[in-house]
Chains A and B, each alone.
Chain A
């Protein structure tokens, strides 16, 4: 077995190991709720239920919550909008699907056609005392619940999210709006009006990304697969080689709708090393050429090197680093006047 092939095999083995690693439990995406998923990119219209119409200020806050969901879903999850003739309902009364303890609740019994969301009445008496909705108080007091926040939680359920699993310290409470225990004013997160990163992560898993350039939630830890090819692996000095890189989400069922997605508009680096060396040098950033996760660059290598493409783990999204299997491009002959390859951008130790 050649040295190159051996390294390629080792890299593949590491990639497989990375794929096989169990997903991290802490800061995991929200669990899924067990009713059928609505159609991606659909628009779910809701109306106020007859004889159970919420008060005006609650209606305003619920519509705002729907806007919050639409603005922060970060995925192809359906949008939720108010329409007088909507087939889904938002209600304000006594509803069987709410259980004995919730402040509000969602039901997908008729999913994926319609949904129901119900809010308990302002002043509802629980064992601990009276439920107070902040928007319905003349001056919001600590201990009241924010309708827009709770509404966003419920719309998260509608879209298929179950409650986020927090650390016992709840230090990650802001990672999700879809929470088991709602926070009253003025506890942390009581008025969060955007889905948290772990809410969005699950929506991305269940509904897919809007396009290949969109950022993956940092609550995800998605393996990527990078492949690189060259137009020629044996050239004469002065000839040009076209390097083509393709980046995808790894092919794993656990990635649900994200599986094998193209990954576009990221920073892909072309690296080289002298044969036998373990130190890789960054040569160039490979520009994207298509939305199908493809990147391309043309170079004229001046001597024989091993080459690989590398995707460094971004700090602002939940994708893992990946590398192509290295290959050698052999350069023969001399050409004193030939243009040189771009200056290296950095030198670094090899990594798998």
Chain B
């Protein structure tokens, strides 16, 4: 007998961001837009970077996440994990300091009880202050994980991160790290999942989630997930494949490998906000003839809820 019916799924989105410019430096967005402009002008479309920027920023006006909460409800997403990527060391045009960004996320957590978890991100080059901020985020702010953005210029196995992983082990919280391409203003050479291997081996009690593992370095990510008990992946970024593969074949492929106890649903909101709402992305995956149609209800439950739930519920930090 199936454990739950599909319509009863309580979906957890493990990969979300606050849609507000203050958390993302202008240079990061400009880099991403430069790629869009290149694609559009090659097709003869009359467009400028400024025009695209205006359009993109119009989708980044939800600093308190009221809009996101409404979209989540519409999509059947009961909880989202907000990730703070720390660009403040690598990119010098950030509006907020990383500490201010943490406080803004704390406000959102308090404003929408039960709707969010937060994984705080700190660039390890901030030294002791950064480490102290991260620990406070667990013990005072109610955050439940660490977010790392290696393309800012560091390896996830860099020794300076080990004190962070020791805190993660102590407080039983997971680490989610960006994998694969990003804004061209950052360093792609640090985006390989294999760079995590040493840390994953040395910190077996810390769980690591390879963000975008269903669409970037897929073979490497699945190998890590299959053979490292503490490594997981999320499927966020699959939206980028829907243009050339509307049936989401990338998701069908990743979920047919017998690894569904390691796969987490994620959307990377608001990155694909020009392409659709949360509901449309969930519907694409849940469609009767969609990429998950061969899975049983237990497997779907793992991907959409239980895997994420399992990783955050062990946290021994303060309640939000």
Do A and B truly interact? no
